[in-house]
Chain A
Amino acid sequence: MLLAIDVGNTHAVFGLYEGDALRHHWRLETDRGRTVDEYGVLLRNLFSGVGSPVIDGITVSSVVPPATQVIDGWCRMYLGVAPLIVGPGVRTGMPILYDDPQQVGSDRVVNAIAAYERTHDSTIVVDCGTATKLEYVTRKGEYAGGVIAPGLGIASDALFERAARLYRVELVRPKHVLGRNTVHAIQSGLVHGYASLVDGLVARMQKEIGMKARVIATGGFAALLAPESESIEEVDEFLTLDGLRLVYARNSGQ
């Protein structure tokens, strides 16, 4: 089985693939202080819950450098497998048209690969996580750049920390756009505001490239925003894991 690990700024997602089928997945907090042995105990427990499968290969995308070291150590010590860490030098099969290709976060390239594998067409990927990241893949399958905006979760945290009279609200879609109380006003600003941010950025990207690209969303907030968005066509919670599986296959040479 292949273990795909997507280390984001807030969560690390672990997925177990049998061929191209995702069999199991888990989500852990990305805690930079967590040790190799703590990961060892946690994941041994989670794996034993699904029959302790044999892991033949591991592939990792990480945007948190300190966590990368720990995950690497855990893979070697507890699973006896050297992980393939997506980064410079790893074959992705996708030309990177960035000023400095090494500067693109591995998660962005992995998402682009997974999305293009589905569409084989010009595509915009919207990752609604800690940051809201949009990537553009050309019709020929080149990674051609993107946009990075603050994520819904961290922006709303900032609102409650920094505005004296505002308080945390449940993150749900309110009945109306216009709020007649503070809770509804904030819910509207977060849900309708962020759906507008995504739709507006997608529209501006499409205008700039002169065509209507396909739009696939992923990330923790995608399911909340997609029903309010006019541009998101499809949500795939596991797009990054799927991209990791594809990158692994391309590098194992079969």
Chain B
Amino acid sequence: MIWSDGFTDMGAAVLLTIDVSNTQTVLGVYEGAVLRQHWRLQTHSGRTADEYGVLVGNLLAGAGSPAIDGIAVASSVPPMTQVIETLCRTYIGVTPMFVGPGIRTGMPILYDKPQEVSADRIVNAIAAYERTHDATIIVDCSTATIFDYVSEKGEYVGGVIAPGLGIASDALFERAAKLYRVELVKPKHVIGRNTVHAIQSGLVYGYVSLVDGLVTRIQKENQVGARVIATGGFAPLLAPESETIEEVDEFLTLDGLRLIYERNAQE
């Protein structure tokens, strides 16, 4: 097999970016600034480095990827860190760079305890600010629904953490005796006249309302009409109904990892 798009940017560094989240782990291969390939794996902290090694090695080989020059990782799941570290050294032969304390991000963190902000949130903030160079709110619609605010000057100011759409709907079906799992689609009307439509409305319009309401409240508190970029698995479902989301970028975190890697490689 050949590298699917060919070597259009011959000589550019090949970077593997890994975003480890609570539910899924996303991998992306960049040649220079271009995302060439991406994959999504289940995050399962019981899985060993050898198991992930077989998976990742196969995916890279299957796509005909050139040799990896560098690896950048953001992990919000501490037990996965060691697994990823071993996988990278043993199966790819590269020592990974983990975003965390000691890594230069180029973004001041105005959090009470800067080390408390998880890596993916900083990475998202960096990728978003690189595009807007303006006050920006990032909405990550994943296991949790996480909002991060970057000031006009490019400082990470703080955020909001709400339950994610997927885990909240799972909880509804597990805990409410008479309710059952429904397909996650937008119903025709807000007011449901049967239980399936009522739940679909509550999940889709309810979560859109949660996002729009929190964005509006953050904008009001900071007296700015900040730009709004969304990412995460549920962003494409919610964005068309949202009045605040301007743009969806599925690969925002991977892009931020690339930027941080470049900023640290320059040294």
Contacts and interface: CB of A to CB of B under 8 A. Distances in A.
Interface of A: 9-10, 63-66, 97-100, 103, 105, 130-132, 134, 136, 144-151, 154-159, 161-166, 176-182, 185-186, 188-190, 192-201, 203-205, 207-209
Interface residues of B, number: 65
A210 to B, nearest CB: 12
Nearest to A103: B195
A146 B199 CA distance: 9
B262 to A, nearest CB: 27
B157 to A, nearest CB: 6
A121 B143 CA distance: 40
Nearest to B75: A164
A251 to B, nearest CB: 23
B210 A200 contact: yes
Contacts of B25: none
Interface string B212-243: 11101110111000000000000000000000
B167 A97 contact: no
Contact of A205 (B149, B191, B194, B212): B191
Interface in B155-169: 157-164, 167-169
Given A177-B218, A201-B209, A208-B190, 18 more contacts: A97-B193, A98-B194, A145-B189, A145-B191, A155-B167, A157-B171, A162-B23, A177-B214, A178-B149, A181-B111, A181-B112, A189-B161, A189-B162, A189-B214, A193-B163, A193-B213, A194-B210, A196-B209
Contact of B177 (A9, A178, A195, A199): A9
Interface stretch (B30-38, B65-73, B76-84, B124-132): B76-84
Contacts of B113: 181
B172 A145 contact: no
A47 B208 CA distance: 46
Nearest to A152: B163
Given A132-B202, A145-B191, A149-B203, A178 B157 contact: yes
Nearest to B215: A196
Contact of B144 (A159, A177, A197, A201): A159
A180 to B, nearest CB: 4
Nearest to A169: B161
A169 B140 CA distance: 21
A156 B145 CA distance: 12
Given A64-B177, A197-B210, A146 B198 contact: yes
A59 B208 CA distance: 38
Interface centre among A146, A166, A185 (most CB of B within 10 A): A185
Interface centre among B116, B199, B213 (most CB of A within 10 A): B213
Contacts of B198: 145-148
B194 A147 contact: no
A164 to B, nearest CB: 5
